[in-house]
Amino acid sequence: MSDKQTSRFVIHKHAATHLHYDFRLEMDNVLKSWAIPKEPPTEPGIKRLAVQVEDHELSYIDYQGTIPEGQYGAGKVEIWDNGTYTLIARDPKKLVFTLHGKKLTGDYTLINFRGDKNWLILKNKPNKEK
């Protein structure tokens, strides 16, 4: 990828049946989405499970509120972090990107490690050559 494009991201803290974080990247005219059961990594060396879920409409990037009981995902949704990201590399099993958020900044990788919906998200160690 020669042209690095900046797009938006959001992380929703979602108090549904189980508290989790919904990590969403603006990509291909949708929000590519992963559910992260524990708080996203803020330091290198921490890996978190990220389960890929259905894409969401772009309008969902600003959503905060309560999803009513009886609806899918019922519970409180709040923006935990948001900002922009720069895509560094993309293939079907790996995304590398730089987050420019309020809480999360720096280089991150999402790796599909089993060929299913299970991915790992990790913060990369700083590159001393930058």
Residues 103 and 91 sit within 8 Å (Cβ to Cβ): no
Beta bridge partners of 112: 119
Residue 76's pLDDT is what? 94
Residues in the chain: 130
Residue 128's pLDDT is what? 64
Residues 9 and 84 sit within 8 Å (Cβ to Cβ): yes
Residue 83's pLDDT is what? 98
pLDDT tens, position by position, for the chain (130 residues)? 335 667 999 999 999 889 999 999 999 999 999 999 999 999 998 999 999 999 999 999 999 999 888 888 889 999 999 999 999 999 999 999 999 999 999 999 999 988 899 999 999 998 765 4
